[in-house]
Amino acid sequence: MALDFLILYEHTVREYESDLLLKLELERRGYRVEIRQLLDPKYWRLFHKDKPEVLVASCMYDNEAINSHVYNNIGRCDKIVNLHWEQMLSDTQEQADWFNMSGNAKRCIQTCWGERTAARLQAHGMQVKNTPVTGAVMMDFLRPSFKGYFKDKEALCKEFGLDPAKHLHLYISSFGYASMSDAEVSELSKMAGTDFSGFAATNRSSMTQTLLWFDMYLADHPEVELVYRRHPSEWNSPALEALAKKRPNFH
């Protein structure tokens, strides 16, 4: 029996729990669902006997994304839903062609967390029926039915060697471009048809200034533990390693 839904994810931290939640709900409704990482080995069965009716993607900006998410994993598919994980954008990004879909991506279902995103995509040529406002899946974990799902402060501190008696400051980084080399930024710009060099430069300078603030603050506040959650694309950052070595209350 063929699959009803195949869900593809890119970043585990950003997507996997929400994908599991979606999978369980679809299975509760009687559908056959499978989750796979975008770069997993390709399975012949997904092109034939297990070919899904619907492919659920993590991003779907242009024809190149359709190639990488759809054709490379299951062949042709006429029902594509984009969970559209990148919706918290700057004003500049909201006006960029890359973030407003092009080519056949405009014919896919682009889920929207709110009316603002739906209106923006519609203003750039998408049909109302392809821009449903669904809300953000991950917010469902805040519903009363999930009480107790997340670990409390004491349990987390014990697991990661933090002092539960201290104040915890949690910082969610958006510096996804700061770790990229100029060559990587150039390659991404060519792929997207949008120049990301200015945005990358802003990312780097903003990160530098932010870490400088953290350094000064943590020096004056030893009673604080600051936990820095990297952006999923933020890898190989000597600046973070250096600050963690300098400030024992930076994690």
* pLDDT digits 0-9 by tens, 35-81: 999 888 888 888 888 899 999 999 999 998 898 889 888 899 999 99
The kind and range of the H/E element at 81 are strand 80-82
Residues lower than pLDDT 50 in the chain: none
Architecture of domain 5-140 in this structure = 3-Layer(aba) Sandwich (3.40)
Contact 128, 122 (CB under 8 A): yes
pLDDT number for residue 190? 77
- Every domain of the chain with CATH number 3.40.50 lies at 5-140
pLDDT number for residue 105? 94
pLDDT number for residue 174? 85
The kind and range of the H/E element at 18 are helix 17-28
Find, among 129, 128, 133, the residue nearest to 115 by Cα.
133
**% of the chain beyond a pLDDT of 70:** 98
Sign of CA dihedral 238, 243, 246, 251: negative
pLDDT number for residue 1? 67
pLDDT number for residue 192? 66
The kind and range of the H/E element at 115 are helix 115-123
- Answering whether pTM is above 0.85, one says no
